[in-house]
Structure 1
């Protein structure tokens, strides 16, 4: 384990905002060179008696990395969530359990993606919101869409912002639109 791993604490998942937690954990695992183990697991050879000592060493290294990743997952969940993954014997198994329970099946993900798309299309700034608050809401929604595999081009995000701000920002929107159109 690197000294960096000892300094960085993993984010704790308490049952809320699974998508954000999963992104943080994936980044953490990538930084520790463990993500491949979490995502793919460790494949054991059918007959280990014919394996060379180098192959056995690689397998032992992968098993150790799997145990390390499993430990990080176990310590990154709140106590009331831990029983759900306590029987998992690999990082991939624990990750899959959490993913299935909190992210949902393929059908659930499709429905969630459709809901997020609709929310994005129907989003409008409220009179009581500041531009900063509204931008944050739009950006959070775009990030959620990305987490579900939908990549919204930055141009589309800017268009959405310009179209959906309140009327008090019309002079600013007009200025921006004119600058986009005018030749330089």
Structure 2
């Protein structure tokens, strides 16, 4: 069971401010866990709990539990500086929508990110004792990030 827990930790991508990459991987992860529907539809709060049948109450409670689990994955994934901005959000859908609105790349933000990546690319140098493969990997990583941002 511990190895399964390690797999989940390894599967989740930590949010580092690059929303486009993170959201793509996180959406895929949440779909594989069958939680993505909660992010699209929300939990759908009933108007009056007393008027619900037992089956409807059980379904609502199941959606709330699924939402709580999805929210837990988001909390595991988001670093403290980013986490503090979403703590007041009630549901996982609220968190996802807020993250999209706040961090989704506008053209100005993407341009700034590209400038930073270009600076990183131009200042890359091979360190003392570093293998050629390691240096090539760093170069390709920066190049791929640039390509990802257009």
TM-score (norm 2): 0.66
Q: Contact conserved, 1:11 with 1:24, CA < 8 A, in 2?
A: yes
CA 1:36–1:140 in structure 2 vs 1: closer, same or farther (change >3 Å)?
farther
- Corresponding residue number in structure 1 for 2:23: 22
- Corresponding residue number in structure 2 for 1:13: 15
Whole-Å separation in 1 of the counterparts to 2:44 and 2:7: 31
- Corresponding residue number in structure 1 for 2:73: 72
Whole-Å separation in 2 of the counterparts to 1:41 and 1:95: 10
Whole-Å separation in 1 of the counterparts to 2:50 and 2:5: 35
Whole-Å separation in 1 of the counterparts to 2:83 and 2:37: 23
Q: Contact conserved, 1:74 with 1:85, CA < 8 A, in 2?
A: no
Structure with more relative contact order (C-alpha pairs < 8 Å, separation 6 or more)? 2
Structure 1 residue ranges (4+ consecutive) displaced by more than 2 angstroms after TM superposition = 3-7, 136-141
> Considering only CA atoms, is the larger Rg found in Structure 1 or Structure 2?
1
CA 1:6–1:47 in structure 2 vs 1: closer, same or farther (change >3 Å)?
farther
1:57-99 deviation line (CA, Å, top 9, x unaligned) = 1100000011111111111111111100111111011111211
Aligned pairs, number = 118
TM-score (norm 1): 0.55
Whole-Å separation in 1 of the counterparts to 2:88 and 2:145: 37
Give 5+ residue unaligned stretches, structure 2: 112-135
Q: Contact conserved, 1:18 with 1:102, CA < 8 A, in 2?
A: yes
TM superposition shift of 1:137? 4.6
Q: Contact conserved, 1:5 with 1:32, CA < 8 A, in 2?
A: no
Give 5+ residue unaligned stretches, structure 1: 116-129, 146-184
Whole-Å separation in 2 of the counterparts to 1:75 and 1:138: 26
